[in-house]
Chains A and B, each alone.
Chain A
Amino acid sequence: DVKVTQSSRYLVKRTGEKVFLECVQDMDHENMFWYRQDPGLGLRLIYFSYDVKMKEKGDIPEGYSVSREKKERFSLILESASTNQTSMYLCASSLAETKETQYFGPGTRLLVL
């Protein structure tokens, strides 16, 4: 069974803190994605990685960075958290040739105070 796990379901941080969100997949997928989901705005892509140490910016990369040191792990970093980064963060993975068939993790609901 395909499995994408995220390090936390709920997270509360203070403005200015550095935040790490971890995502691990056990399907040997080449592609990994970080999205955020906000009411009325749908899913928005933050970053995408197609291989270890490779990354591409999505639609809203500002304020975020990513790290992919191992194939199975894709980390999202909020360098200095701000209140407008309060959101649901979703990690997904897919095979290289089938980006439309993405498998999502359960999500991390982040609240920045």
Chain B
Amino acid sequence: DAKTTQPTSMDCAEGRAANLPCNHSTISGNEYVYWYRQIHSQGPQYIIHGLKNNETNEMASLIITEDRKSSTLILPHATLRDTAVYYCIVRAYNAGNMLTFGGGTRLMVKP
């Protein structure tokens, strides 16, 4: 799996967009970008994934740069319940059984 780099922590005002960056400069052509989050004392939650096109679902948008060396997860209108640790994972499709989470970004949404 390609190595990812994320900021340790970020703050966001409630109702504003939260933009969480992830660097993955060694990503290979067959590797996808996946985002998960983990709210305190709960299990991880899948958010979104993409290969090279931007993706959007009911939870978030994923913007991947043209060279695929970085990406941004966007929560368009952050709420207090979005306070969590957000993990960016890069890996090839169906490569191995285990998900490996790095340090992630601790997002604090403030009133």
Alpha-carbon separation in the docked complex, A49 to B43 (Å): 19
Q: A90-B44, A106-B43 are in contact. Are A99 and B97 (CB under 8 A)?
A: yes
Q: Which of A9-37 contact B (CB under 8 A)?
A: 31, 33, 35
A45 touches B97 (CB 8 A): yes
With most chain B CB atoms within 10 A of its CB, the pick from A4, A90, A92, A100 is: A100
Q: Mark A88-113, 1 if CB is under 8 A from B, else 0.
A: 00111000011111111111010000
The 8 Å CB contact of A100, one of B34, B42, B45, B102, is B34
The answer to whether B49 touches A100 (Cβ under 8 A) is: yes
Please name all residues of chain A whose beta carbon is closer than 8 Å to the beta carbon of B42 when the two chains form the complex.
106-107
Secondary structure type dominating chain B contacts: loop
Evaluate contact between B98 and A42: CB separation under 8 angstroms. no
List 15 A–B pairs whose Cβ atoms lie within 8 Å, in order of A's numbering.
Answer: A42-B101, A43-B44, A43-B100, A48-B97, A56-B97, A58-B97, A90-B44, A92-B44, A100-B32, A100-B91, A100-B93, A100-B95, A103-B46, A104-B44, A107-B42
Identify 20 new A-B residue pairs, CB closer than 8 A, beyond the known A56-B97, A107-B42: A35-B98, A42-B100, A42-B101, A43-B99, A48-B97, A58-B98, A59-B98, A91-B43, A92-B44, A98-B93, A99-B96, A100-B34, A100-B49, A100-B89, A100-B91, A100-B93, A100-B99, A101-B46, A101-B49, A109-B41
